Chains A and B, each alone.
Chain A
Amino acid sequence: MAKTIVQEFTKGLWDEIPPFRLVLGLCPVLAVTKTLGNGVGMGVAATFVLLCSNILVSALRSVIPGKVRVPCFIIIIATFVVVVELVMQAVAYPLFLQLGIFIPLIVVNCIILGRAEAFAFKNGVAAAAADGLGIGAGFTISLAALGALREILGSGTLSIPFSDSVIQMFGPDFQPFSFMIEAPGAFVCLGLMLGVMNLAGK
């Protein structure tokens, strides 16, 4: 039975939320979640690419020959990644500097290629758009949650996405738990969150 558009959207928020349920696209999840602001910035950038590539792949699915579909997907995805790169430089340069090479690396994010191959190439435009938006939103929520957790514990602050303001969470006596900001904190934190998700999912 065909799922409705709403179901295609909401599945990305819990049932198939990346990177917890779909263990894909881990690198940016680990790398850019030092702060809430960076996490959300990356989430929005990836969602834009995912939405655009899903729509285009779905619209062109009868034109693209099966044998060269992967190179076609890559061209489509890479084009939107470069668009994001340029637009981010023009409107949010400090964020662009923070995210560094992880912006061009959206192109090899397996979530995006995975959705193109597994979903968009087989479904209609509306369903593909809903899927892209849902998975993208789920990805952004995960990045935001991990970013907020690491930032609060690791530096005692919370940066507001898309602005320069930073909230101090604790008094001046707070000793930042800098393990959380470093690489090991990212792995451990993500692992524990995944454990909690598994516990809640049952």
Chain B
Amino acid sequence: MRDIIRMIVVLAVLAACSGGLLAAVKSGTAAKIEVQQLTFVKGPAIQEILKGCTNNPIEDRFKLKVGDEEKTFFVGKFDNTPPAVVYETFGKGFAGDVGIMVGVNIETDKLIGIGITTHSETPGLGARAKTDRGFKESFQGLSIKDAIKVNKDGGNVDSISGATVTSRGVCTGITGSSDMYQELKPKIMENVKAFGS
């Protein structure tokens, strides 16, 4: 009997110590891990959208509450043009969700560029959304307030040949974030100002 109690006590104490240690390490590294993930997973898309910005958008970021979730906004400051924010939204692709980084000029509400972060689209077809310059550039200058459509549906976006579903998914994903953006606009302006631009 004493043996069994001893076993249980030792196991419980070990498990408790382990849990405590891990929770401490987790909270100690959480901030750094977030920055690393942003830099290496979302970073490339953000840097591409905010090409020529004078600050580090990964560091100049803020979070706003959208419903129950928090959304992260990255700020890009420029010398001659007004600042822009970049945020991530999701659209339905051919095979699951497509992560889309959307960059918006906060004075004109026009898109300055988009980028694809995560996707599981078919290589060579839908996956080209991530690399196809013409497709991504055709979003530039469109207003976030309007419904964004591919040219087949009467819009201005050049859809990727052979990947209409993915192209449409990206458009509806961006259009879907329009309400959220307009609703948060005052808060976004406030936060961007706080970064001193």
Asked if A86 contacts B26 (CB within 8 A), the reply is yes
Residues of chain A lying within 8 A (CB to CB) of residue B21: 79, 83
Q: How far is the CA of A128 from the CA of B11 in the complex (A)?
A: 22
Asked if A89 contacts B29 (CB within 8 A), the reply is yes
Q: Which of A72, A86, A91, A97 contacts B10 (CB 8 A)?
A: A72
Q: Is B133 an interface residue (CB 8 A)?
A: no
Q: A67-B7, A86-B29, A87-B25 are in contact. Are A93 and B18 (CB under 8 A)?
A: no
Q: Which of B10, B33, B40 contacts A94 (CB 8 A)?
A: B40
Q: Is B39 an interface residue (CB 8 A)?
A: yes
Q: A64-B10, A86-B26 are in contact. Are A75 and B18 (CB under 8 A)?
A: yes
Q: A89-B36, A90-B36, A94-B40 are in contact. Are A71 and B29 (CB under 8 A)?
A: no
Residues of chain A lying within 8 A (CB to CB) of residue B32: 90-91
Q: Which of B3, B7, B11, B29 contacts A90 (CB 8 A)?
A: B29
Residues of chain A lying within 8 A (CB to CB) of residue B14: 72, 75-76
Q: How far is the CA of A67 from the CA of B7 in the complex (A)?
A: 8
Q: How far is the CA of A63 from the CA of B7 in the complex (A)?
A: 10
Interface residues of A in 20-57 (CB under 8 A from B): none
Q: Which of B11, B29, B33, B36 contacts A72 (CB 8 A)?
A: B11
Residues of chain B lying within 8 A (CB to CB) of residue A64: 10
Interface residues of B in 22-40 (CB under 8 A from A): 22, 25-26, 29, 32-33, 36-37, 39-40
* Closest B residue by C-beta to A82: B22
Minimum CB–CB distance from B29 to chain A (whole Å) comes to 4
Q: How far is the CA of A111 from the CA of B22 in the complex (A)?
A: 23
Q: Which of A76, A86, A97 contacts B18 (CB 8 A)?
A: A76
Q: Is A78 an interface residue (CB 8 A)?
A: yes
Asked if A65 contacts B7 (CB within 8 A), the reply is yes
Q: Is B65 an interface residue (CB 8 A)?
A: no
Residues of chain B lying within 8 A (CB to CB) of residue A89: 29, 33, 36-37
Mark A150-173 against chain B: 1 for CB-CB distance below 8 A, else 0: 000000000000000000000000
Q: How far is the CA of A5 from the CA of B21 in the complex (A)?
A: 30
Q: Is B184 an interface residue (CB 8 A)?
A: no
Residues of chain B lying within 8 A (CB to CB) of residue A199: none
Q: Is A68 an interface residue (CB 8 A)?
A: yes
Minimum CB–CB distance from A161 to chain B (whole Å) comes to 18
Q: How far is the CA of A23 from the CA of B36 in the complex (A)?
A: 36
Asked if B25 contacts A93 (CB within 8 A), the reply is no
Residues of chain A lying within 8 A (CB to CB) of residue B189: none
Minimum CB–CB distance from B114 to chain A (whole Å) comes to 24
Q: Which of B14, B21, B25, B29 has the most CB of A within 10 A?
A: B14
Residues of chain B lying within 8 A (CB to CB) of residue A97: 40
* Closest A residue by C-beta to B36: A93
Interface residues of B in 2-19 (CB under 8 A from A): 3, 6-7, 10-11, 14-15, 18
Minimum CB–CB distance from A94 to chain B (whole Å) comes to 6
Q: How far is the CA of A137 from the CA of B124 in the complex (A)?
A: 44
Q: How far is the CA of A121 from the CA of B85 in the complex (A)?
A: 57
Apart from the given pairs A68-B11, A90-B32, A93-B40, 9 other A-B contacts in the complex at a CB distance below 8 Å = A65-B3, A65-B7, A67-B3, A67-B7, A76-B14, A82-B22, A86-B25, A89-B37, A93-B37
**Can you sample 28 A-B contacts with CB below 8 Å?**
A64-B10, A65-B3, A65-B7, A67-B3, A68-B7, A68-B11, A72-B14, A75-B11, A75-B18, A76-B18, A78-B18, A79-B18, A79-B21, A79-B22, A82-B22, A83-B25, A86-B22, A86-B25, A86-B26, A86-B33, A89-B29, A89-B33, A90-B29, A90-B32, A93-B36, A93-B39, A93-B40, A97-B40
| Complex A-B, nearest 7 residue pairs according to Cβ-Cβ distance, in ascending order | A93-B36, A90-B32, A79-B18, A90-B29, A89-B33, A68-B7, A86-B29
